[in-house]
Homo-oligomer: A and B are copies of this chain.
Amino acid sequence: MTAEQVSAVRSFNGTQYVFKHKSSTVSCEMTFGVYVPDHTSGTKLPGLIYLSGLTCTHANVMEKGAAQGPASKLGLIFIHPDTSPRGTDVADADRYDLGQGAGFYIDASWEPWSNHFKMRSYIESELLPVVSAVVPALDTTHIGITGHSMGGHGALTLGLTRPDLFRSISAFAPIANPTECDWGRTIFGEYLGDDSKVEWKKFDASILLAAYSGPARSILIDQGTDDNFLKQGQLKPETLKSHGSAAVEVRMQPGYDHSYYFVATFMGDHIEHHHRQLIL
């Protein structure tokens, strides 16, 4: 089913769109944003998927992420989906890190979440065909993936397990080792069950990285040193180590926090990182 345009606004010599569509994967209406630089008809442009963090929708990075300028300059389509299924019939919880706004980019197998919370499948199977149907310039064979915090975890885990889909990887302040932090243990317990620690490991970037044997990847990570979630042990960037064909660069950025001021500051570098590898 074709996505319906919610809005379109000119931005940095391109158009910032918002669309919505009925998702068969997560069984509800989903919203996504996509920024498309101006291009001559028939041109194909590479794309970058940006996965947002806890509590965010598609809108946070659209308003505060400063992606449009660098994406326009280089000619890259910037795709930013929502963080979870939503709606009155979608399960939710009375906390910010579980339920709506907190899909964690995994496929939930436990009740009450398993009905809708299939964000991993949504990103890897449904999103790109839906986007390319409305943005024909998108070259779905040249796609990178990045994200912030929970979305950084999503970008790393999707990127490392689906190198056939994602040719370039980066992350901003990712939850790098969720099986060993409070957020991950709590949420994986809810979505995957407490007794399936084997299953948990499939969604842990540092574990996936240590076993990586796919095509060569150069992975850029930025992490602020004054990030409260870093101090709380939720992020653990030190667990991300180069392994085999995966080269990891973790840049500790002095004084930066976990906010979109941090994301916006380094967004240009990440877009360049992806563009360089996507045009190879």
Contacts and interface: CB of A to CB of B under 8 A. Distances in A.
Copies in the complex: 2
Nearest to A256: B10
A69 interface: yes
A39 interface: no
A4 B257 CA distance: 21
Contacts of A254: 10
A15 to B, nearest CB: 8
Contacts of A63: 63-64, 260
A257 B10 CA distance: 7
A12 B267 CA distance: 10
A261 B64 contact: no
A98 to B, nearest CB: 27
Interface residues on A, range: 20 to 34
A58 to B, nearest CB: 15
B265 A10 contact: yes
Given A10-B256, A255-B10, A16 B261 contact: yes
A111 interface: no
Interface string A228-262: 00000000000000000000000001111101111
A13 to B, nearest CB: 8
A10 B260 CA distance: 10
Nearest to A13: B265
Nearest to A225: B10
A56 B245 CA distance: 50
A262 B226 CA distance: 32
A210 interface: no
A16 B255 CA distance: 12
A81 to B, nearest CB: 19
Given A10-B262, A66-B69, 7 more contacts: A10-B224, A10-B255, A10-B256, A63-B64, A68-B264, A69-B69, A69-B268
12 contacts: A9-B257, A9-B259, A10-B224, A10-B226, A10-B253, A10-B256, A10-B261, A11-B265, A64-B64, A66-B264, A68-B261, A69-B265
A-B pairs, 10 with minimum CB distance: A11-B261, A10-B255, A10-B256, A9-B261, A12-B265, A63-B64, A66-B66, A11-B265, A9-B257, A16-B261
